[in-house]
Amino acid sequence: MSTPPGRPDEQPPETTEPPPGTTSEHEDVVDPAGTPTSEPARDSGGGVKGAHTVSGGERPHRGRRSRRSPWNRRRDRVLAATLAVVCVAAGVVVWLFSDSRATTQRTASEPPPRLVGLTSVPGSLAERWRADSPATPVPIAQGGFVITGSDGTVSGRDPLTGEVRWEYSRDLDLCTVGAAWSKAVAVYRKGSGCSEVTQLDPTTGHRTAQRNGDAEAPTRLVVDDSHVTTTGTHLLNTWRSDLVKTLEYGQVPAPVNPNRQPRPGCSYSTVAAGGDRVGVIEHCPNETNARLTVLDAAGDEADEPEQVFSALLPEVTAQVVAMSDERVAVALPERRQLYVWDYEGQQVGTYGLAVPSDDLAAVPESGAVSTAVGHENLYWFTGSSTVALSLPDLRPRWTVEGTLGAGTTFATEYVVPIPGGLATLDERTGAVTRTVAVDRPDHAGPVELAATGPVLLERRGGTLVALR
């Protein structure tokens, strides 16, 4: 048999016993007097007694004893078996408590259905399917599927039927699910906070990235083109598309480098993001009024925030409403005004609001106000009205009262939810062009909208409803 490449020739050890009358080269010879000697006995001619004569001067072959294996003893075999059992047991214990065992993933076996959009909002809409989705603050349509989140499971559903095409499940509670960078982003609760972040391909359900963070509970994701930020009352985390943390702001747990946070003792009420910046309303112990702070979403060091500007506000309560590439807008309830700053820290606009003060003073539980972007404007739901803010200067253009949400673009038109149905609006003027009846017998509160192809999605409380 040929020797495998790269290995020396292997020969079994010789175990031939010496022939009778000869001795091993390592054995002592006993002379006739009974005294051991290391020299072989010689005959009268000086030769070795019993030696075989070999022609050509070659030395005779002498047999060698085989070396005894160090594992032939019983106690050695017992030790080896014990070590093997310990290694297997340790592997089983690691697997039992690992994240892999606690994760169930079923990916999509078929591509998403091909959806054909509508040219106008239909005259009637009926419910086609519904699903529990308390973890999605707004409806999510990504990658041809509708994303829902409930009981530790993120699901990708067929928009037309609601059939689950893929699932990703953990033995943890879901804090929130959002959409960013054409991916689904799920945040799970571990311990006292929302610390496990998982990114999923919405077309297949494959996990594409994962990290641990320090987000507070409850939280939601505030998204701009390049980053996502978690809301919280004492800590904000920001990540880029590969889930590398680019900013942490506030009371950082177990900081590696202390004294890097400018105001760690403050609490936060509302958060917004835009233009690679994060805006937050702070309430600090030594300050009577609220403070607006704008941060760079990706400074040189994540644990050392880079402040774009910070301004003390003229009221105790405020809401950061929206951020564009050029401006940040803040609502002041007592004045019923919208203040607008540029990113040099200069206040560039003050606008009156036809909105009740109670709407402007309310602090959303999620830490972010409800907004949506249409073809021409950014839309802000105050709690009782929808306000259109022009882009990019965030100047109020018009207000529609009696709405239930910020709305969405559906079938080339902008629609907002109203009691009993939907209203289509002229984006330039806010005029209602027509209404469509929608039956919501089990829900009377705010409604978040999104659309995918011919399907309109409504989030009513913790339930997602598909209309067509």
How confident is the model over 253-310, as pLDDT tens digits?
888 888 999 999 999 999 999 999 999 999 999 999 999 999 999 999 999 999 999 9
**C-alpha angle with apex 137: 133 to 142, nearest 5 degrees?**
75
Q: Is the predicted pLDDT of residue 136 greater than 70, yes or no?
A: yes
Question: Looking at the structure, do residues 209 and 230 belong to the same domain, yes or no?
Answer: no
Residue 71 has a pLDDT of 56
The pLDDT of residue 254 is 83
Are residues 289 and 328 both part of a single domain? Answer: yes
Token pair of 356 as six digits:
């009740």
- Residues 249, 262: Cα–Cα separation, whole Å: 9
More confidently predicted of 370 and 67: 370
- The CA-to-CA distance between both ends of the chain, in Å, stands at 74
Residue 84 clears pLDDT 50, i.e. is over it: yes
Which DSSP symbol is given to 399?
Answer: E
End position of a domain, from candidates 213, 232, 249? 213
- Indicate whether 319 belongs to any domain: yes
What does the pLDDT read at residue 67?
Answer: 61
Q: Rounded mean pLDDT of 61-72?
A: 57
CB of 79 within 8 A of CB of 87? no
Q: What is the pLDDT of residue 306?
A: 97
Please tell me the total count of domains within the chain.
2
Let me know if residue 132 belongs to a domain. no
- Do 267 and 321 have their domain in common? yes
- Tell whether 293 is covered by a domain: yes
**Residue with tokens 């995918």, as numbered in its chain:** 452
Cβ proximity of 280 and 273 under 8 Å: no
Residues 208 and 227 in one domain: no
Torsion angle, alpha carbons of 295, 296, 298, 301, to 10: -70
Cβ atoms 310, 293 nearer than 8 A: yes
Tell me which H or E stretch contains 309: strand 307-312
Residue 418 or residue 28, greater confidence: 418
- The reply to whether 355 and 235 lie within a common domain is yes
What does DSSP assign to residue 238? E
- The predicted-structure confidence for 325-336, as pLDDT tens digits, reads as follows 999 999 999 999
Q: What is the mean pLDDT of residues 427-456?
A: 96
Per-residue buried b or exposed e for 210-246, using 16+ beta carbons within 10 Å of the residue's own CB: eeebbbbbebbbbbbebbbbbbbbebbbbbbbebebb
In a shared domain, residues 167 and 286? no
Residue 405 has pLDDT above 50, yes or no: yes
Residue 219 pLDDT > 70, yes or no?
Answer: yes
Q: Which residues pair with 448 in a beta bridge?
A: 459
Mean pLDDT across 104-129: 95
Shared domain check, 363 and 245? yes
Phi then psi dihedrals of residue 428, to 5 deg: -80, -35
Best CA proximity match to 295, nearest among 246, 241, 363: 246
Q: What is the pLDDT of residue 255?
A: 84
- Residue 323 domain-assigned? yes
Do 140 and 150 form a contact (C-beta atoms < 8 A)?
no
Q: In the numeric block, which tokens belong to residue 136?
A: 């999605």
Q: Apex CA 8: angle with CA 6 and CA 14, to 5°? A: 160
Residue 78's φ and ψ, nearest 5 degrees, are -65, -40
> Do 255 and 333 belong to one domain?
yes
CA–CA distance from 15 to each of 64, 65, 68, 448 (Å)?
Answer: 6, 5, 12, 86
**Residue 419 within a domain:** no
In angstroms, rounded to a whole number, what is the distance separating the alpha carbons of residues 227 and 64?
75
Q: Measured between alpha carbons, how far is 343 from 351 in angstroms, rounded to an integer?
A: 18
Half-sphere exposure of 466 toward its Cβ, with a 13 Å CA cutoff? 23
**CATH number, residue 203:** 2.40.10.480
% of residues, the chain, pLDDT over 70: 80
Please identify, among 213, 248, 269, the residue that sits at the C-terminal boundary of a domain. Answer: 213
Q: Is the pLDDT of residue 76 over 70?
A: no
Structure tokens at 147: 């994303």
Query: What is residue 191's predicted lDDT score, i.e. its pLDDT?
Result: 83
Backbone angles phi, psi at 357, to 5 degrees: -60, -35
Does 297 map to a domain? Answer: yes
pLDDT of residue 82: 76
For the entire predicted model, the pTM comes to: 0.79
pLDDT above 90 (res 13): no
Contact 378, 395 (CB under 8 A): no
Are 165 and 265 members of one domain? no
155 and 207 together in one domain = yes
What are the pLDDT digits (tens) for 143-173? 999 999 999 999 999 999 999 999 999 999 9
Do 237 and 171 lie in one domain? The reply is no
CATH code where residue 307 lies = 2.120.10.30
DSSP secondary structure string for all residues of 368-390: S-EEEE-SSEEEEE-SSEEEEEE
Instruction: Tell me if 64 is assigned to some domain.
Output: no
Q: Reduced to 3 DSSP states, what percent helix, strand and coil does the chain have, rounded to the nearest 5?
A: 5, 40, 50
What's the domain range around 328? Answer: 221-367
**Mean predicted lDDT score pLDDT of the chain:** 86
In tens, the pLDDT along 225-252 reads: 999 999 999 999 999 999 999 999 999 9
Last residue of a domain, one of 367, 384, 417: 367
| Structural domain contains residue 392 | no
Q: Check residue 55 and report its DSSP letter.
A: G
Give the list of residues 6+ apart from residue 330 with CB closer than 8 angstroms, or none.
281, 292, 313, 318, 319, 320, 321, 338, 339, 340, 341
263 lies in the same domain as 358: yes
Distance CA 244, CA 213 (A): 10
At 33 the pLDDT is: 42
